[in-house]
Every structure is written in C-alpha cells, then in structure tokens.
Amino acid sequence: MKHLLLVGGGHSHLAVLKSFGDAPLEGVRLALLSPSRHAFYSGMVPGVVAGHYGPGECRIDLVALAARAGARFLPDSAAGVDPARREVTTARGERLRYDVLSLDTGSSAGEPAGAAEHALRARPVEAFLAGWERLREAARRGEVRRIAVIGGGAAGVEVLLAMQHGLAGSAAQFALFSELPVLAGHGARRRIARILGERGVPVHAGRKVLAAGENGLELGGGERFEAQAAVWATGAYAPTWIAQSGLATDARGFVAVSETLQSRSFPEIFAAGDVATVIGAPRPKSGVFAVRQGPVLARNLRRVLAGEALERFRPPSRSLALISCGDPYAVASWGRFSLEGAWVWRLKDSIDRRFVERYRLGPAGA
C-alpha cells in the first residue's frame, strides 16, 4: 500500500481530489492535511466583501471532497518536511509518513511589523472574512474614518474597491499604498488608475510601508499616515518551513519544481499553486495558474504511483485576468490589451460560479 499525502487545500488539490474520487487508484492510501475544513475560491472573495455573494457561495467542502476520494481528512497544518524520513510534521507535532507528497498550501501575505496586532491580512481567507465583518461594523458605527490598503497588485485593488462598495453610505475613506506602480505589468493599469481616481482613492505609489500601528502606518523616511484600520494585501510570501525543510527553493523561498511539478531536489515530492515556482518558466502567483496546474498534477501523481512517465505542465505565455471593481463592474486584462464593463463582471461571475460548482460534491455514492 502506497501513501499519498496532500498538504493544503489549494486550487490544484481540488482537481486531485476530484480525480481520485472519479476514478480511485488501487493500492493507494490517500490523506489530506489542511487547517481548514473549507477551501475558498480566491476569485470570489472580493465579491463576498462587496456583498454580491454569501461566504458559502465561494466555499468548497474539503471534508466531503476528501470523503468522496476515499481520503482521510486531517485537520491540521504542516510545520515541516523531513525528506530523508519521508515524513511531514504537523503544527501539533504529529508525524505523517508518505511515499509521495504533494504541496498546495498557497502563500502568506507576509509578516510585517505590527501587522498581526494592527492590520487585517488578506490571507488566510477565513480569518480575513471574519475580520472584515468586524471592520465593517466598526466603520458603520463611525469608529473607522480612514482605511489604508497596502498592496498595489490585483488583490489589493480588488479588496479595496470591494470594501468601498461594501461600505457605501458610510463616511469611511480609503487610501492605497504600493511600493511598485499599481498593477505593474498589467495591460489594465491605466484603466484601474482611472477608476481609482474616479472613486476618490488616493494612490501612494513608490511608498514603502514599514509597519502598522494602532493609529496608522509607519512609512519609509520617518513619515506616518493616519488611519484607523489597515489591510495587508501585498504579494505572495513563502511559508518559512519550506526552506527549513531542506527543499530546493527559488530566490524567494518557494518550492522549486520542474515542468512535471516535481521538486528539483526530491522527485517523490510535488508542489503546485502559489507555494511552487516552475524553474525556467516562472509565472505570477495567481489562482489562474494554480487552476491550470491541477489536472496535470492529478495525472502526474497517478503516474508516479504507477511508475509511469510524467507529463509536463506547459504554462501559457499570458493569461486572462479579470479584476473586479467593487460594484458589478470589472476590467479584463490580456497581455497589453484590456477591456472593461458590466459585461466583464458578468463573464467573471459565470466563470467563478462554474469553478465552484465543479467541486460541490457530496460524499461517496452521492
């Protein structure tokens, strides 16, 4: 009996669980390690904040999905990997043996000074949504007059505009901070800059935020920015235990994998989604690529367990980004080209809902 251990309930592992539920593999014992019983589809989270969806509409039941796949669900998170022993250590100290290991834990939003105490972090999603409910109520009571969002990528822009829409009618004002130009590298950056301006959001590009405090932000150069709340939505950061486990990593600490999604240092270890970087073909840390990697990962896990040759993941040179703007309006970005309108939001809504419905599966036999 071979042991396949999945660590994390990310978008790629959803495809793996569905694959093994659709067609179980004899002689394989499957387990899923995840700190949450649910996976949240990241593309719909801003819509929850804006009020277009309820939390349940973007939530996938990992326990049901695992049960259908015949997998044991383990409610805990990884704290380390011992490749020599082929063991994963959990946060509670349990040691889980594996023959084949797959990592899809996603990334973190970083740990800036004071963020744990004084900022709402965009990841993990479950904690973020709970914190948003508290922040929304405080803003509606007039206790929060200004909200600073740190992060000029698509995630920061979407979260800011979603919160602004969700707090329509309140006195809360917003400001966006970004070390780089907002949406650097996106064909939609000019459209988004215009939309932010039209909605009264000042953008502080090129400003480094050093820390979050009780009454605002500490900026580079000794300046301060007054705000009653801060939301940290910066780029992806690698879990610290990855490098500490001795796995080959890229310069930022993410698992270095080949085109087959195998670890560059241990071929029995696979990784996909934000936690991995395909060496030689890196792509932005985006749910779009995690979704695309899922079917290839599922097939390669089956093939490595069966002793068969693996296939390569061929990432597209560019992908379609659909950026929601708070209200039922969105911007589409494809390379250097972009479009916008309510119809783009309807397209995004349709794509997102179809993705979630694909994994709304009951237990085995349902």
**Predicted confidence (pLDDT) per residue in 86-106, tens digit:** 999 999 999 999 999 999 998
Positive or negative torsion for Cα 114, 118, 120, 123 = positive
| CB 93 within 8 Å of CB 227 | no
Residue 366's pLDDT is 35
- Contact assessment for residue 120 and residue 230, using Cβ atoms and an 8 Å cutoff: yes
- Higher per-residue confidence, 219 vs 365: 219
Whether residue 258 lies inside any domain: the answer is: yes
Torsion from C-alpha of 60, 1, 309, 287, nearest 10 degrees: 20
Same-domain status, 127 and 229: yes
Does the pLDDT of residue 362 top 60, yes or no?
no
What share of the chain in percent tops pLDDT 90? Answer: 78
The mean pLDDT of 19-30, rounded to a whole number, is 95
- The per-residue pLDDT for 365 is 35
Q: Check whether 315 has a pLDDT greater than 70.
A: yes
Q: Are residues 146 and 203 in the same domain?
A: yes
What is the model's pLDDT at position 364? 38
Contacts of 56 (CB under 8 A, 6+ apart): none
Residue 190 pLDDT more than 90?
A: yes
C-beta neighbour count of 95 within 10 angstroms: 11
pLDDT digits (tens, 9 = 90+) for 135-167: 999 999 999 999 999 999 999 999 999 999 999
Question: Could you tell me if 274 and 308 are in contact, meaning their C-beta atoms sit under 8 angstroms apart?
Answer: no
321 within some domain: no
177 and 125 within one domain: yes
Distance CA 75, CA 5 (A): 13
Domain boundary among 235, 257, 278: 235
Residue 301 has pLDDT above 60, yes or no: yes
pLDDT above 70 for 22? yes
Q: Do 98 and 24 fall within a single domain? A: yes
Domain co-membership, 243 together with 306:
yes
Among the candidates 207, 235, 263, a domain finishes at 235
Residues 93 and 241 in one domain: yes
Q: Which of 12-26, 201-215, 275-289 has the lowest mean pLDDT?
A: 275-289
Is the same domain home to 245 and 224? no
pTM above 0.75, yes or no: yes
**Tell me, what's the pLDDT at 296?**
97
Cα–Cα distances in Å, from 297 out to 39, 103, 312?
18, 10, 9
Helices 11-22 and 287-306, axial angle in degrees (round to 10): 40
Phi (first) and psi of residue 301, to 5 degrees: -65, -40
Cis geometry, peptide bond prior to residue 124 (ω within 30 degrees of 0): yes
Please tell me whether residues 257 and 207 are part of one structural domain: no
List, for residues 207-259, the tens digit of each pLDDT value: 889 888 888 999 988 899 999 999 999 877 888 899 899 999 999 999 999 99
Look at residue 65 and tell me if it is in a domain: no
* Predicted local confidence at residue 116, as pLDDT: 66
In this structure, is residue 195 part of a structural domain? Answer: yes
What pLDDT does residue 363 have? 40
Residues 277 and 245 in one domain: yes
Q: What is the residue range of 246's domain?
A: 2-35+76-107+237-316
With respect to residue 151, please indicate whether it lies within any of the assigned structural domains: yes
Does pLDDT of 173 surpass 80? yes
- Residue 86 within a domain: yes
- Mean pLDDT (the chain, rounded): 92
Whether 115 shows a pLDDT value over 70: the answer reads no
By the 8 A CB rule, do 163 and 190 touch? Answer: no
> Looking at residues 18-39, what average pLDDT do you find?
95
- Classified as helix, coil or strand, 190 is helix
**Is the same domain home to 91 and 202?**
no
Q: How confident is the model at residue 84 (pLDDT cuts 50, 70, 90)?
A: very high
Give the residue from 92, 52, 28, 10 showing the smallest Cα distance to 330: 52
The CATH code of the domain that includes 267 is 3.50.50.60
How many folded domains does the chain comprise? 2
| 186 & 294 share domain | no
Which of 61-70, 229-238, 318-327 tops mean pLDDT? Answer: 61-70
Q: Note whether residue 68 is domain-resident.
A: no
The pLDDT score that the predictor gives to residue 164 is 98
The reported pLDDT for the residue numbered 283 is 74
The average pLDDT across 101-127 equals: 81
Calculate mean pLDDT across residues 33-59. 95
Pair 164, 304 in one domain: no
Report whether pLDDT(16) > 70.
Answer: yes
In 3D space, the residue among 311, 347, 352, 351 whose CA is nearest the CA of residue 330 turns out to be 347
Domain's final residue, options 178, 206, 235: 235
Tell me, yes or no, whether 221 lies in a domain. Answer: yes
Which two three-digit tokens encode residue 51?
A: 């009020």
Please say if the pLDDT value at position 113 is more than 70. no
